[in-house]
Structure 1
């Protein structure tokens, strides 16, 4: 890079940014800025790359430099700073300030207002969340997400009167498929709450059809089977397991199928004075993406690499207490978890399979869950999940604790008492006291988990039995096949 001009270095950085070659892009952008620091766009791109490699403090500083030096759309920098603060640095109040700054810089910037509403939902403040979404509708009256989230808040706080009619009116006025899908998912939820089950299922079917048709990526069953095959091969049952020591207690990892009770479980654990709720952390999936080829590279980590990666993960941990990580699809990474944290406990959440399928199908995941818009694809994913969990039990049986959602709602006191004991935590009576959970809930279940434990969602699939005949038959056949294979092995 010796002798190159600032503009030449920027030009060299561009293809690295497009290809996601972050380290090379960072080096070139920093070199360019060392020559000429008055380049707001270069600061913005540097922040983007720094965020991608999880250098969050550096990214915050670079976004601020972009703002201070007059970047053309400061509202975008503010929103990105807010995302880092809320999702990675667990500072929702600072994130709120950044989103308000974004709205001040550009009052018509709807993403800032939607994110603000979402953050207030995470914090459990329905009035402020509703107000933020209302501000978004003042700018964009047809915004489907704002209409849908206001409806979901109203349903959560018991103000359901008129919600169905408002949603149907909004659907008639929507202009994009994304908005229509969002509103149909909300309409299905409202109709389900009103016990109009046939109409609800029709709304969910339409929502999923649209979401599936516009998804940028479809579920690949062959690739999923291949991934599970490789995970099983990379971590054979006779693989020796190291025992690591650390002054910082290993996190509690909560995983399983999405919609299997993980959020409720984490909030219950958060009542314990020794537990700090981390929520759906993306640290492990990010680490898995960085280890290529995965999982083979992860299974072959050196002792020095394990120490370094473990220390990097533990930067997320509180100064005292035990961190929970409830990223559900971390069940794919149990081998990696036990490599970094051999002493860790894995709490595997389970729930009636048909209730799980229906709950996944009834929720708008967006791009994060590629199989969620088709019941046959949910069924296929579930089979691969069962296959992998059966393998992990052979390898790490002593450290995997099954926790059943249906047992929890039937006998909450016993289920909670038993789990606290299995985790080796001292019993605290506060673990049974609803309302003492952590404040921030970053998940689609944010409103449900704040309500007292109830049994309404247990056996929910029965209301839709006539719509699920094919799925019921296929599940029974699958479970029989899985059971016979387990007996043979």
Structure 2
């Protein structure tokens, strides 16, 4: 057989990449670069594919090789390395160095300024974040996302705050896209809420959700029947408790519940303990499900001991790659409440902290947040109320199976009586009391959720009972929740 030439290998790798055959494309680029390691675009494409495949350390190496061989637009490569380091490997210092390297090459490179601002926010550096977003607006005065992020760094002093007018003008600008209207609209709603203009805020949030729906292109529809079917299938797939393990399994501490139910606050409190490392919203479990357990949940229910052991090792290897020297790591992905059956199959001794919040506050908080279209329930209050009901139905099943392994942490109890609530939480986790857990807001842990600024403050009560400011708009939601409770 005639060996392939570099030219034919490049064509094959490119074709495979275009076809979405990621692993085959990676193999083809590796063959090409073994023959011709001086092709910077080949290293760039290999790094891109490795990143997509979750092979982050290898991706960093390939991107560096692209830089070493003089890739065009090196600032983009530094940006990509920075995103990997920040989003996937929890290396904030290294990520900042990469973003600053990009800006040293091209001071007008807006994506690097945006990501640098976001990284500063994650680290609680308000002044530095503001400076980064102002740099973007100096370069592109109509940049909607930068204005949105800048607005989020300041609490509006009143309905006449200049930022409110600035956001309204940006929304009214001719030709503004639906996605920009959504970003700006959620920021406007937040500013009006802070100013106490609740009816105007509710209207702004309604417009923002409508713009978010329009920005999707294809119709975004919440399928209530499909959600109910999924919950039925999960309950059927995991009808009984998993067998208990023998000794330590190395399981992380799982924190889950509805989005906006206090999970980030809970993780920050725990991460202030000397024995705990914050893992954040890890994608490890959903990735295993997508790649190894389809159709889900039936394939998970049918998985034998050998496969479960392999998946457990895979999860832990990926976790340790991110936090190699950590002791107890938290996996704080809220929607992992869907996967508690699988979690207990993989880690029979796993402890699960279930964060709960007053339903109306929780539902309203979700509606006020610009969430991904993969969560279509968030675009409509009644859809969110239905999702909440199905979540409660599933959690009741998990708690019946694992009453001692699932700990309910109520947000309202946490903000009303922090010390005794935190003491009980630490006791469930097998941790001794640490005074540092009360000063969690002083920690320098990076936070990559919408709660980034809330958890930089001492515990406060103003988010509890927030729904009363919007009571006039919540009649149907209250009726739905009361009907749900009446059916139980």
- Shared fold (TM-score, shorter chain, > 0.5): yes
Report the secondary structure of 1:80's partner residue: helix
Counterpart in the other structure of 2:235: 232
| Residue 328 (structure 2) pairs with residue 322 (structure 1) | yes
- Find the aligned partners of 2:406 and 2:215 in 1 and give their Cα distance: 38
- Find the aligned partners of 2:97 and 2:287 in 1 and give their Cα distance: 27
- Find the aligned partners of 1:138 and 1:5 in 2 and give their Cα distance: 49
Give the gaps of 5 or more residues in structure 1.
Answer: 484-489
Q: Which moved more, 1:7-16 or 1:130-139?
A: 7-16
CA deviations 1:429-478 (Å, max 9, x no partner) are 33223434342111110001111111111111111111111111112112
Change (3 A) 1:424 1:472: same
Change (3 A) 1:387 1:149: same
Give the gaps of 5 or more residues in structure 2.
Answer: none
Change (3 A) 1:293 1:9: farther
Residue 86 of structure 1: how far off its partner (Å): 0.7
Counterpart in the other structure of 1:145: 145
Report the secondary structure of 1:401's partner residue: strand
Residue 62 of structure 1: how far off its partner (Å): 0.8
Change (3 A) 1:182 1:406: same
Pairwise mapping of residues 462-481 of structure 1 onto structure 2 (< 5 A)? 462-481=468-487
Counterpart in the other structure of 1:66: 66
CA deviations 1:179-205 (Å, max 9, x no partner) are 221111111111101110011111111
Q: Which TM-score applies when normalising by structure 1?
A: 0.92
- Find the aligned partners of 1:327 and 1:287 in 2 and give their Cα distance: 14
Pairwise mapping of residues 187-336 of structure 1 onto structure 2 (< 5 A)? 187-216=188-217, 218-221=220-223, 222-237=225-240, 239-246=241-248, 249-291=250-292, 292-315=294-317, 316-317=319-320, 318=323, 319-336=325-342
Residue 287 of structure 1: how far off its partner (Å): 1.4
Counterpart in the other structure of 1:177: 178
Counterpart in the other structure of 2:351: 345
Counterpart in the other structure of 1:378: 384
Report the secondary structure of 1:112's partner residue: helix
Q: Which TM-score applies when normalising by structure 2?
A: 0.92
After TM superposition, the runs of 4+ consecutive aligned structure 1 residues lying more than 6 A away are: none
Residue 169 of structure 1: how far off its partner (Å): 2.9
Contact 2:276 2:329 in 1 (8 A): yes
Q: Which residue among 440, 452, 460 is the counterpart of 1:446?
A: 452
Change (3 A) 1:24 1:435: same
- Find the aligned partners of 1:334 and 1:2 in 2 and give their Cα distance: 53
- Find the aligned partners of 1:393 and 1:297 in 2 and give their Cα distance: 22
Contact 1:261 1:349 in 2 (8 A): yes
| Residue 360 (structure 2) pairs with residue 354 (structure 1) | yes
- Find the aligned partners of 1:144 and 1:161 in 2 and give their Cα distance: 18
- Find the aligned partners of 2:51 and 2:152 in 1 and give their Cα distance: 31
Residue 250 of structure 1: how far off its partner (Å): 2.0
Residue 286 of structure 1: how far off its partner (Å): 1.4
Change (3 A) 1:196 1:265: same
Residue 134 of structure 1: how far off its partner (Å): 1.0
Counterpart in the other structure of 1:50: 50
Change (3 A) 1:320 1:180: closer
Residue 231 of structure 1: how far off its partner (Å): 1.9
Residue 64 of structure 1: how far off its partner (Å): 1.5
Contact 1:137 1:146 in 2 (8 A): yes
Q: Which moved more, 1:203-212 or 1:37-46?
A: 37-46
Q: CA RMSD in A?
A: 2.2
Contact 1:270 1:438 in 2 (8 A): no
- Find the aligned partners of 1:156 and 1:197 in 2 and give their Cα distance: 13
- Find the aligned partners of 1:395 and 1:254 in 2 and give their Cα distance: 17
Q: Which residue among 344, 364, 370 is the counterpart of 1:364?
A: 370
Contact 1:278 1:325 in 2 (8 A): yes
